[in-house]
Amino acid sequence: MSEEGHRPDPGSDESDHRGFANAAWSIPSYILSGMAVYGGLGWLLDRWLGTSALFPIGVLVGLALALYLVYHRYGR
């Protein structure tokens, strides 16, 4: 709510700043969580299969998928 006690218009500057703040927090969150989830899956598969290449591959796949999601959501 604004200082006057009513909600701002959807097209006002305050809602634009709020949308930018949401994007500014969600983009790094997508990237970090994608890397963590797919890196974790790669680490688990490495431990299970006795290899050492799946962890970095999982991190890179997670990064690529997160960047695609960010582009799809905010880049158009």
Q: Say what the pLDDT of residue 17 is.
A: 74
Number of H helices, E strands in the chain: 2, 0
Q: Say what the pLDDT of residue 15 is.
A: 66
CB-CB neighbours of 50 under 10 Å: 7
Burial category of 63 from C-beta neighbours within 10 Å (exposed 0-12, middle 13-18, buried 19 and up): middle
Each residue's pLDDT, cut to its tens digit, for the chain (76 residues) gives 555 555 555 555 666 777 777 878 889 999 999 999 999 999 999 999 999 999 999 999 999 999 999 999 988 7
3-state secondary structure of 76: coil
